[in-house]
Amino acid sequence: MKLVTAIIKPFKLEEVREALSALGVQGLTVTEVKGFGRQKGHTELYRGAEYVVDFLPKVKVETAVAVELVDRVIEAIRRAARTGKIGDGKIFVASLEQVIRIRTGETGADAVSPARPIPRTESPKSPLVFSPCCWLVV
């Protein structure tokens, strides 16, 4: 098992989610984060004064996948998140020692991919969708 973590531009989240869903990736963890890389932030003008914005808003997308799926997941994220401009983000891949589904005790790949499709329920006031494995931003 591998943990694939992507730091992307927020407006690319939906495209990345759709690309991963097309591969059959079931669970994502999405976190709003701030950071900077080579672009080192930027300056903005507010009421005549110039301010340096050091940390830019990004989205961190994490998913645990089987080793056989890693290359396709990386390529799907790269294609969906790419704008061709500085600040497109990074993808990190780390090995997972063990994965355990708390509810059932399932381990490994069984812990991250459900045996049957899980119905999603959506709150009308929230852009978040809950499924038993994770929260998704939609």
Report the run of H or E that residue 16 belongs to, with start and end: helix 13-22
Domain boundaries defined on the chain: 2-137
Q: Nearest-5° angle of CA 130, CA 19, CA 106?
A: 50
CATH T-level topology, domain 2-137 = Alpha-Beta Plaits (3.30.70)
Predicted TM-score of the model (pTM): 0.74
Reported as a single tens digit per residue, the pLDDT across 53-102 is 778 899 999 999 989 999 999 999 999 999 999 889 999 999 999 999 99
